[in-house]
Amino acid sequence: MPELVLGLTLFLNFTLPESIGMPDIIVIGDINADVILTIPAYPRPGGEAVAATVKIHTGGSAVNTAVALAKMDMEVGFIGRIGKDALANQILADLGESGVDGTHIQTDPKVNTGLIFIAVTVDGERTMFGARGANTFTEASAIDPAYFVNCRWIHLSGYSFLSYHQHETTLMALELAKNSPYTRVSLDIGTEPALRARSQIMDVLPKLDVIFPNETELAILTEGRSIEAGLDYLLDGRTNAVVAKRGHKGSILAVGNKRVSLPAFNINVKDSTGAGDSFNAGVVLGRLVGLSWEASAALGNALGGLATSQEGGVASSISRSSVARLIEKHLFHEEWAPVRYALEELAAYFEGAL
């Protein structure tokens, strides 16, 4: 891949002026059109359910993370691949409206934009069916290394390990981060990638600053170990930090010898789409602005919770002021007493956001 070698060489020997305004954070992953159907209950096999509402949103796990970061006033760029169709045009418009830079999104002339059907039941739980489309053909050779010059954080999606082209893109991003003195990298695991690409994921874990599995993914990566034993297994030279998502139970942080559980925020769940992706954004934001690991995990819980509070998820519910209000509301809740210092740190950071 001579183009990749040449690109890396140019990146390492060429510095662009700050005024060009390259993003602080670059997210790499799938871009989809999400077709969201609200149904009373999930049908039995062979049955049917009639949707009360049908909505189409721009989505994809990585896109949700990028949008959440942009909603928190971060400079965010996105790298992925879309088709040459009407859905793609709407996606680009939506990303621009959300504040995410899509100028380095690739267009595939032959393959359609990714499409996800999401069935959401009355309890807010979601079931998804996906066709990844153009996502799987994201090309490393089409990426401009100069785009990463000012990048301080790269966030990756585990789904990029499921296709050859995307995997090559991920490896390129890791190489760029390795040769930067200030770029950190995170990875959202994903259940399907954990099942189908465990060995590839395990190979790159030492190169990552933090990973974001849920409980199921943690068990898969650690070959069935309990949460506590699994965290010890991963932190035994296999990766640098883990912030595990536990849904309504909150999250658990593992870094070095530190193990800290943080509760979820009390929120009336309407739609859980994008909750885990927004959680990732909260932790990334916290670490990027210099917050402690505990405060960053608490911020992840806050953004993840807020994403469930309204239909439409990330774009309609997350802002600095909504986070500040949520923290203020929970500051003296009993369940937060063991880690109240994390909320106090967040309250100080968001002072003036109300």
Q: So which residues are the catalytic ones?
A: 277
3-state secondary structure of 326: helix
| CA–CA separation, 322 and 343 (whole Å) | 14
Q: Residue 192, exposed/middle/buried by CB under 10 A (0-12, 13-18, 19+)? A: middle
Give the DSSP per-residue string, 92-153: HHHHHHHTEE-TT-EEESSSPPEEEEEEE-TTS-EEEEEE-GGGGG--GGG--GGGGTT--E
| CA–CA separation, 316 and 40 (whole Å) | 23
Whose structure tokens read 């909603």? 71
Span between the terminal Cα atoms of the chain, in Å: 51
Phi and psi torsions of 169, nearest 5°: -65, -40
Task: List the one residue out of 121, 67, 122 whose CA is nearest residue 99.
Answer: 67
Which whole-number Å values give the CA distances from 338 to 236, 260, 265, 334, in the listed order? 26, 9, 14, 8
Task: List the one residue out of 234, 210, 213 whose CA is nearest residue 222.
Answer: 234
Look at the chain and count its residues: 354
CB 68 within 8 A of CB 281: yes
CA-based angle 199:200:201, to the nearest 5?
90
CB 288 within 8 A of CB 153: yes
3-state secondary structure of 44: coil
Task: List the one residue out of 207, 203, 252, 200 whose CA is nearest residue 226.
Answer: 252
